[in-house]
Structures are given as C-alpha cells and as structure tokens.
Structure 1
Amino acid sequence: MDVYQAATKRRSIRRFKDKAVPIAALERCIDAARVAPSGRNVQACEFIVVNDARVLPGVFENIGGSVKLPFEKGGPGPDQHPRAYTVIVINRSWEGDPDRRRVTHYDIGIAAQSIILTAFEQGIGTCPILMINEDGLKKALKIPDGYDAGMVIAMGYPDESPVTEVADPSPDYWIDDKAVRHVPKRKLEDVIHRNGF
C-alpha cells in the first residue's frame, strides 16, 4: 500500500475488537510522529501511549466525540471500546514566544496524521479526538504542569468497515440497516482551485 492509498482508504474507527495493541506497534507510530515536520523546528509535541487495561478507562472517561456515541448511532458496543490511545501533549515552554506557540497547534495535526497513517499501515484503526476533559485527563495520566493535552487518538483493531461515498449534498455520515457507517466526502472538483481561487 502506498501513502495515497492509505490516505484515501483509511476511515475513523469507532468500534474496536477486543484485542490488545502491542507497545511495539504504538512506538512505531510515535517514531513516525517524532520526525514529522514541526514549525520552526520547535518539536513541542510529546506523546503518551496507553495500552494498559487498568489505565484505558481513565482516558475513556475524559474524552467525548463519536467514540462515545450510542451503538445505534455508530458508537462502540460495551466490548468495542478503544484498546489503546496516543495522547499528544504540548510542552508549554514556548509560551513566551507567540510565533513558536502558534505553530505548536499545527504541529499537533501534522504529528497526528503521521500516527494515523502509520497505525493504518499496521492494521490498526484510529479516531482522532479533540473533545477532551483536560483536567480529568491530566489527573488520569499524571500529566505535569507545563503541558497541555492537545489531542487524543483512540486506537485498536477495527471491528467495523466504514465506507466512503460522494457527499451529495450532505456531509453527515449515516448508519445503514446492516450497521455499516457511510462517510460522505466532497468531490475533488468541489474543493480544488487551480492557479487561483
């Protein structure tokens, strides 16, 4: 599989198999993220990987979004919760420099995409989450002062196979009568502007 195939075939996964994610697979994802581009080479992103069954509930309790939806709306069943997480944290030591501080938020997205594609290559599904109870997450994971939780990536082996289709006209995803999630995406011609707007 090439990078284009990975980028176009991978979908966010909300239902995961009851199968542990090995630490080596998570570390491979982080290794890809640590060398990702970083604005002004600040490299403020650090990563907490979680795959211990005793720690997983503390993360799940402090996230929101689609991995918390009811089953009938595409969320996980009781045995389909994420089996691992990567939490991208930002070292706030750059707070005094507004230019460097600004780029760290972009760096989160760049690092996340590296993690997501590397996970996909290994057969691991992901769902990036920005709805975070930061105080609760910091407590659950013992994140020290001076760091902010920027994103949580839910991870595990997929227990669903979402399909992509053309958004016509709504981009809202929907669940069919076989519990398959359909993810509408805009057409290339609707989003590309050549040599100017």
Structure 2
Amino acid sequence: MILITRALNSTGTLPTLLECGFLLQNIILVAHAHNLGTCPPGRIVPFLNHNSNANLISLFHIPSEYEIAITLALGYPDENPEAPIR
C-alpha cells in the first residue's frame, strides 16, 4: 500500500489534489512497466482521515499536519486476462 499525503497548512506552496493525482498516475505507469498491478481504493481515504482514526494514522508515522490524499494498493496480479475486442 502506498499512501500519498499532503500538508494541510504551510507557508509555502501546497500540493493540490490534482498534483497528487499526477503523482499517482506516474506511480501506476511505472508499476505497470514492472509488471505490478495497482488499484487506487479511493473510498478508504475519508475513513483514514477521520479524527476517530488518528491512532491508525499514527501507525503510518504521518505527522498530524498532513492528510492522506490518495491510497494505492500495489502487488503482483494473480492473472493477466486478455483485453476484449471492442
């Protein structure tokens, strides 16, 4: 699992969610080039960022001034089906 985070407040330029999306796209492309499968389970992000899950976030050693922007599951796929003809 890869967690892409971004700062909540800063005096400098904050990475936008769009920029985090660009980073995610590049990670997915590189993973594919290395025969890795990926899946961005986006529905888990609000759950992880919820205040009641601060103890869970502490397991990842993410500072409190950061939030999770995007998650990405990564691994070797069980199968490699052929794409259907369109």
Q: Normalization by structure 2: what TM-score?
A: 0.73
Alpha carbons of structure 1 residues 91 and 164: separation in structure 2 relative to 1, 3 Å: farther
Matched, 1:111 2:23: yes
Q: In structure 1, give the amino acid aligned to 2:18.
A: Y
Q: In structure 1, give the amino acid aligned to 2:17.
A: H
What is residue 150 of structure 1 aligned with on the other side?
69
**Structure of greater relative contact order (alpha carbons < 8 Å, 6+ residues apart):** 2
Alpha carbons of structure 1 residues 156 and 92: separation in structure 2 relative to 1, 3 Å: same
Q: Secondary structure at the match of 1:148?
A: strand
What is residue 125 of structure 1 aligned with on the other side?
37
Flag as ranges the 4+ runs of structure 1 deviating above 2 A.
Answer: 160-166
Q: How does 1:41-190 map to 2 (within 5 A)?
A: 85-94=1-10, 100-101=13-14, 104-132=16-44, 133-134=47-48, 135=50, 136=53, 137-162=56-81, 163=83, 166=86
- C-alpha distance in 1 between matches for 2:20 and 2:57: 17
Q: In structure 2, give the amino acid aligned to 1:108.
A: C
Q: In structure 1, give the amino acid aligned to 2:4.
A: I
Superposition RMSD on alpha carbons, in Å? Answer: 2.4
What stretches of structure 2 of length at least 5 have no aligned partner? none
Shift of 1:164: 5.3
- Of all paired residues, the percent bearing the same amino acid is 31
Shift of 1:104: 1.1
Counting matched residue pairs gives 78
Give per-residue Cα distances to partners, 1:42-99, cap 9 Å, x unaligned. xxxxxxxxxxxxxxxxxxxxxxxxxxxxxxxxxxxxxxxxxxx1110102233x68xx
Q: Normalization by structure 1: what TM-score?
A: 0.35
What stretches of structure 1 of length at least 5 have no aligned partner? 1-84, 167-197
- C-alpha distance in 2 between matches for 1:164 and 1:141: 39
- C-alpha distance in 2 between matches for 1:160 and 1:145: 39
Give per-residue Cα distances to partners, 1:114-158, cap 9 Å, x unaligned. 100001101111001211222435133131110000111000001
